[in-house]
Every structure is written in C-alpha cells, then in structure tokens.
Amino acid sequence: MTTITPSPPAARPARASFTRLLRAEWTKFRTVRGWVIALCAAAVMFVLLSYLSAFESRYAEPSVPTGPGGEAVSDTYMFLHQTLTGDGTLTARVVALSGAYASPAPTSGNAFGTSARGGPDSQLDRGLAPWAKAGIILEPNTRQGTDYAAVMVTGSHGVRMQYNYTHDRPGLAGPVGPSSPRWLRLTRTGDLITSYDSTDGASWTKIGTVRLTGLPRTVQIGPFVTSPAYLPAGAAAPASSVATAAFDQVSARGDLARRSWTPDAITGSGYYPYESPARTWQERSPSAFTISGSGDVAPLVGDILSPQWAGASIVNGTIVALLSVIVLGTLYATSEYRRGLIRTTFTASPCRGRVLAAKAAVAGSLAFAAGAIATAIAEVITRHVLAANGSYLFPQSGPDLARVIIGTGLFLGLAAALAVALGMMLRRGAFTVAAGITLLVLPGILGSQSGNWLMRFAPTAAFAIQATLPRSSLVTSDYTPPNGYFPISPWVSLAVLAAYTAAALALAAWLLRTRDA
C-alpha cells in the first residue's frame, strides 16, 4: 500500500499576516464606540478651542505696509528731505548717536508715556537699541513701503548699507561718537545708488552699489533717524525706544528744487509714538542738525507687531487634541491588559512585535487623519476670526499651510503611536497617561519658561512644525516659543518626536518578547 505524505501548507506571506493584524486592530478600535466618539470629540475640541482663542484676541493692529517684495515691513522714521532731480550726491557726518527707552507698560495713550514727548529725557532709561539707525536715505517718495537705499550708522552693528528692507551690506565697524565720527555718502547715477563711508571725510570706502529698478527722475533724499523696539537685558517684553543723532557737514550736489529741508515724521504703526516734526529735529546751522526718531525701517517680525501670536490659536487647539490623543492611545493599548484579553491576542498572533506595530499604525493613522482635518478647518476659521477682530495676519504661503496641516496631523499621529508604546510597556492606564503628559506636554511648558534647550531635544520640539512667522537678522526681537518662534526647524522638530516614538516602540517590542503577557 502506498503512503502519501501530504505537502505542508504554503506559508502565508508576512505582508498578508500583518494586513490581517491591521484589520483586526482596526476592528477592535471601531467596535468600541467610546474610542470612536473620543477621537471625534478631540477633533471637535481642537477646532472649538482654536476658535475661542482667536475670538478672545481683540488686539487691533494698524495697517501694515508691504515692501517691494510683498513682505510686511516696518517703515517709521524721522526724515529731513529735499527733492533731487536726476543724478546727485548727499554727504553727511554723524558725530553722535544716543538712545533711551521707556517701560513696556505705557503710562498714557502714547507708547512712551507723557514724559517722552520731545525725545529722551531724564525720566527715560538710557539705552541705545542695537539696530537704532541714523544716516542718509534716498527714496522715490515718502509713502510707507516704497523702494529705498540708505547708508547709516547703527547702535551696535557699525555702518551699514541697507535697501528695500531685506538687503544689508556692512561698512565700517565700531560705534559712532565725538572721537570716532563717521562720514556717510550716497551717490545717484540713473537708477544706480552707491554708498560710501569714511573716518575722516577724505579717504572714502565704497560699501556697495544697488539698482532700484524703475526709480523716477525726481526722488527724495536726506538724513533720517529711527529706533526700533528695544529688549533690555532680562526684560519680559520689548519697549519703545527713541534715538537722537547729531549730523554736521551735510552737503548736497545735484539739481535740488530748493535749499531748505522739509521735516517729515513717517509713521504708521501704533506701537511707536507719533511726534510732530517740530519736536524731533533742531537746525543748529544750515549744515548741522540734531534729529530724534523712533520706529524702524526693516522687515516686520511677529512679536514686534503684536503681543498675541496669531498662530497661538492653533497651538492651543493642538494641546487639547494632544492630551486627548495621549489618553486615547493609552486606553487602546492597556484595555486588553486590564480585561485579560491580551493573552488571546498573543495566542492568535504569536509575533508580539507585529501586534505592537499594528496597534501603533492604527492609532497613529486615525490620530493623523483627525488632526489634519481639524487643523485645516481650524486654520480657515481662526484666520477669519482674527482678521475680523483687527489682528494683522502675516501672509501664509501654500507650502507653509500644507506643512502646518500635514505636520500637525503627523505630530498627533506620532504622539498616538508613542502613547501606544508606553501603554504596552507600562500596562496601566494612569501610569501611561502620566508618562505621556510628562514627555509630550510638560517640556513645552517648562521650555517656554526656562530656556530653549527643552524645545530642541524634548518630544515637544514638534510644536515647531506649526511655526510660520518671519524672522530677520536685521531685527532684534524676542524669538522665543511664546512669541511663535522655535529654536529648531519645522521638519527637524518632527524628526525629534519620530525618534522618541521609534525608540519607545523598539523598547516596547523588546519588553514584549522578554516578559509574560
């Protein structure tokens, strides 16, 4: 009699096995109605809290000028100007530059308080803003946001040539003073503007030449002074400041409509005080002036414009969603331990690492979808509400908006996977929730108060994925997380959280293999 040995069953591919695990874990999740409701509630709370946060923000900013490139700019300064037709040259010597700043809390409707009318005095704290500027400027007109080229001395950055708000070239280093004056010169040839500086008025060094395309034949040229918001050491908020400069040996060559100077306080931002021209300049002789000015000619950054970062509304909503995701991921991971069903799961699927991966994938995918959808809705609603409340909103490009939406979804998805890994390691809900909050929420609170290193290396670094505010090396500002600035780039910040999640999943997989269910 012939014995036939049956062939062993064909092994199922690992991919098919993992697909069944994913389907099984998805079925577990959707059949627990409370988890589905909690996930939907987290998305709703995200949108609702973002809306309420935006609704409560009623800080009305003034209109904001835009520069030649369409960027938001500060364009506030004191200007003595003449009309120049065609080519010409303006030369001036700056012999002194001093400054003062007021308390961040104003004592009247004026940002300085009543004591600041007319410039620095004994009731103000002495201090020169690093980017206080005094020099000569050429521009087509005195409208805010217009093209310009200027050469200037600064509080702490030496002589600079700057043009069109975002461009900067260095000149002579060091501070200006009676023992170290600086001669400055601007020369126009067509639409080419060339700047020079000198220590003695005899030997000149060229700083640079720029082309202001479309520059009209008739332009405004003259000395100017401005001083931006000043952040004193140890201060919690920037203060309005004023700078005073002494010019002499001011001389012009070219076709000038008249030989007298017209003072103009170029102003628009309500953050800086309005001063009448009569109070901010003094003519000591036909070629010597003392000018005081406040404001800035530079790109606009977020916290200088408003104490309320517009993106904070989205951040507030994210925090609530993050807490919900931590709790939901914890319950999803620990419920089988609590009910004793984990043995059944591991009996059906002996490869415990795959079970962990399937749970993390399901929880992460659902949190990603809910987070991305909620962020997209919240972005539309909050920007509309903030604009209706009078808050200025920095332009947001399509790629930036996509990054915030997708990145926030990934942030919440990785957080859910991390919570699952913690739950499989700790097995108890209360401990896991506490561990998740300690890792994902607490460092953000501590980091905003004590320093930026936590926001670089802790999982909460991932909040930087939502950063959209502009920053500039030409503006001294408080670039900190409470103001919407993070010490790490957006996608790198998400990689930090991904690294924590991967490490937690690897540790959880090892523990699952080495201990009893």
Q: What share of the chain is helix, strand, coil (3-state, %, to 5)?
A: 40, 25, 35
Q: Which helix (H) or strand (E) holds 92?
A: strand 73-101
Res 64: pLDDT: 84
pLDDT at 421: 96
- Give the N- to C-terminal CA distance of the chain in Å, as an integer: 48
- Position 120 pLDDT exceeds 80: no
What Cα–Cα distance (Å) separates residue 219 from each residue in 74, 89, 340, 464?
Answer: 21, 12, 83, 44
Q: Please report the DSSP string for 228-271 in residue order.
A: --B--TT-SS-B-EEEEEEEEEEEEEEEES-SS-EEEEE---TT
Lowest mean pLDDT among 20-34, 75-89, 118-132, 292-306: 118-132
pLDDT in tens, 277-294: 556 888 888 889 999 999
Burial of 401 (0-12, 13-18, 19+ CB in 10 A): middle
Type of residue numbered 384? H
CA 111 to chain centre: 24
Q: Has residue 62 got a pLDDT over 60?
A: yes
Q: How many C-beta neighbours within 10 Å does residue 14 have?
A: 10
Instruction: Find all residues with CB under 8 Å of 499, minimum gap 6, and list them.
Output: none
* 309 band by pLDDT with thresholds 50, 70 and 90: low
Integer angstrom CA distances of residue 365 from 25, 54, 93, 143, 411: 12, 28, 65, 52, 11
From 3, 134, 6, 17, select the one nearest 79 (Cα to Cα): 134
DSSP-derived 3-state class of residue 405: helix
Query: What's the CA dihedral at 11, 15, 16, 18 to 10 degrees?
Result: 110
Give the pLDDT confidence score for residue 176 in this predicted structure.
Answer: 95
How high is the pLDDT of residue 517? Answer: 58
Assign 90 to helix, strand or coil: strand
Report pLDDT digits (tens) over 328-368.
999 999 988 887 787 787 777 778 888 899 999 999 999 99
Query: Which residue did the predictor score with more confidence, 293 or 516?
Result: 293
Q: What is the pTM of this model?
A: 0.83
Q: Are 494 and 413 in contact (CB under 8 A)?
A: no
Average pLDDT, the chain: 86
Predicted pLDDT of residue 292: 93
Average pLDDT over residues 363-390: 93
Looking at the chain, the whole-number percentage of residues with pLDDT higher than 70 is 86
pLDDT for residue 135 is more than 80: yes
Answer for the pair 124, 116: CB distance below 8 angstroms, yes or no: yes
Name the residue type at position 367: A
Report CA-CA distances (Å) from 257 to 45, 86, 147, 450. Answer: 64, 11, 21, 58
122 pLDDT band, cuts 50/70/90, is very low
Separation CA 87–CA 392 (nearest Å): 39
The predicted-structure confidence for 408-462, as pLDDT tens digits, reads as follows: 999 999 999 999 999 999 988 899 999 999 999 988 777 666 557 788 899 999 9
Q: Is the pLDDT of residue 264 over 50?
A: yes
Max CA separation in the chain (angstroms): 128
Q: Distance between CA atoms of 517 and 510, rounded to whole angstroms? A: 13
pLDDT at residue 271 above 90?
no
Which is higher by pLDDT, 357 or 233?
357
What is the number of other CB atoms lying within 10 angstroms of the CB of residue 375?
28
> Under the phi-then-psi rule, with left for phi > 0, alpha for psi from -120 to 50, and beta for the rest, what region is 119?
left
Q: What is the mean pLDDT of residues 42-63?
A: 83
Is the model's pLDDT at 145 over the cut of 90? yes
Give the type of residue at 60: A
pLDDT value at residue 106: 44
